[in-house]
Amino acid sequence: MGRGTHMDLATAFATVVPADRGVGFRGYDGSEFNTIGSQVIMEIKTPRAMQYLAGAPNQLGLARAYVSGDMEIHGSAYEFLRRLYPMPLDHVSWRARTKLAREFLPFALARPEPPALERRLRGRRHSKTRDAEAIQHHYDVSNRFYSRVLGPSMAYTCAVFPVADASLEQAQEEKFDLVCRKLGLTSGMRLLDVGCGWGGMVLHAVKNYGVTAIGVTLSEQQAQWGQRAIADAGLENSAQIRFSDYRNVRETGFDAVSSIGLTEHIGRGQYDAYFAFLLDKLRPEGRLLNHMITRPDGSEPSHYKRSFINRYVFPDGELSSIGLIISHMNDAGFEIRHDENLREHYALTCAKWCDNLDTHWEECVNEAGLPAARVWRMYMAASRLGFELNTIELHQILGVKLADNGASGVPLRVSGETWRA
């Protein structure tokens, strides 16, 4: 435990985590708590794990300890997080808190180097150069790795489950089709898909709705995958995937724009310019479908510098409330015609991704390395829990660029068959 420390690790854990949470504990000092019959066990394997946890007693410290391999989660990562969160400390007396702080202060002062995967980007936030670095950090892990986690659809955004037991592939197909229906796509239209990923939306719209489409992504590996998929489908005359910043698109007059999972990377300070740019790309009566993760309200900041997500998953990512997003879309010139919260669908999507990662664990580790696989295991489990608890949401907002005479081009009423429940 270290010089002057008299409390073993299991006792410290039991002071904070009640036994009825069903989480066992095992420490490198030989102490144990609640390990018999527990579905999940937290194992502290080294003193460095305690240094990470005490030095950043939040999600970042937990992530550092786990990603480094100094802490192990035996059992489901999702169950581990679900049983521990939220953890009010009302049951811990001030005397016990003071004793814990005194006992573990040496760990907090140690300040070991974080795992190599932890990122702190340099330069001006949301410049083209820094945005490219942020996107490539997350998306250029390995196409093979992503294919094992995401499945054949290679869709890394919320799926839409027509029924709860639908397959992931069925749900991703339904998501792309829902976007197409909301955009009112018909044969001969032109679509711009910003932040297109591996090209799933582009391919679906071209194959099923007869449009011509351009997709743009800042991930070179995604662009290469999408370009091959287009060639394999014989759609080179109707579809393009560009390795480019969306701000470099010069074409205008599109009938529709889809933004599926890009707004989270834009940054709150860039919303006005972002939505103004997309509005300028549309013809009068053209539609934008903005599909993004949001916070449930405006009580939290959009960005936490010392968070697991910012340091390991989405550097510079920002989440705002749905009200703020709609206000910025509206102020940019879009008439808002529809909003839909799909957070339960994203929880189901994350559960499927967790299952895929577990099923292909050894292959994913061999492809991306154990630390990266551990990041993904923690990230997917935490995301699933966040959507279930409504600490994060997933919204689709439909906006229209009105004609000069106020015409929207949107039907008076949308039939149930068009957007299907």
String of DSSP letters for 123-173: SSTT-HHHHHHHHHHHHTS-HHHHHHHH-TT---S----SSTT--HHHHHH
**Do strands 282-294 and 393-401 pair parallel, antiparallel, or not at all (unpaired)?**
antiparallel
CA distances from 349 to 339, 355, 381 (A): 20, 10, 11
Cα–Cα distance measured from residue 38 to residue 35, given in angstroms and rounded to the nearest whole number: 6
Fold for domain 128-419? Rossmann fold (3.40.50)
Domain extents in the chain? 9-108, 128-419
Tokens of 278: 């997309």
Q: Tell me, what's the pLDDT at 314? A: 79
pLDDT along the chain (421 residues), means of 10: 67 94 96 92 97 91 96 97 91 93 93 88 64 59 91 96 96 98 97 97 98 95 95 97 95 98 92 97 98 92 75 84 97 97 98 97 95 95 97 97 97 73 47
Q: Quick one: pLDDT at residue 2?
A: 44
Q: Which residues are CB-neighbours of 37 under 8 A, at least 6 positions away?
A: none
CA dihedral (401, 405, 408, 412) in degrees, to 10, reads: 160
- Residue 371, pLDDT score: 94
Distance of CA 281 to the CA centre of its chain: 27
Vertex 398 angle, CA 152 and 154, to 5°: 10
Show Cβ contacts of residue 313 under 8 Å, excluding neighbours closer than 6 positions: 138, 375, 379
Q: 217 has which bridge partners?
A: 243
